[in-house]
Amino acid sequence: MSDSEWRMQGGTLSHKNAMKEFGFSEEQIIEGMKSGKLQYRQNYSHGNPYYRVLRSEVEKFAKEIHGADGLKEQKHQHQLKEINKQINSMKRKLKKLEKEKAKLIESPCNLT
């Protein structure tokens, strides 16, 4: 595999994100790396090691493990989870803005 896929935005993901996104256990990811099905590079964040893996290889590996329908289902579940996370974030922001609005309405504006 050329270096271009490693440098391409969205071409790699951490092994932890691969676990979340594709429904793998850490043991399955490690086994895939040991068997040569997943290329990886070790990186460090704040002194803590983690592995970067190629998204395309993880998708192939997921098809092999879960089947094509299982991969589609896992992607669907992951997208649903991300959308729910964004909705909840927006709800929290809206609540905060509503409180600020109420404070401004209640407090008199003294311009003099």
CB atoms within 10 A of CB 71: 19
pLDDT of residue 90: 98
Three-state DSSP at 97 gives helix
Task: Assess whether pLDDT exceeds 80 at residue 1.
Answer: no
- Name the nearest CA neighbour of 29 among 1, 55, 49, 58: 58
Average pLDDT over residues 26-36: 93
b vs e for 94-109, b when ≥16 Cβ sit within 10 Å of the residue's Cβ?
A: eeeeeeeeeeeeeeee
Q: Is pTM beyond 0.85 here? A: no
- Across the range 56-78, mean pLDDT stands at 89
Whole-number pLDDT of residue 112: 58
Architecture in CATH for domain 3-106: Orthogonal Bundle (1.10)
25, 70 in Cβ contact below 8 A? no
Task: Evaluate if residue 39 carries a pLDDT over 80.
Answer: yes
Q: Is the pLDDT of residue 89 over 90?
A: yes
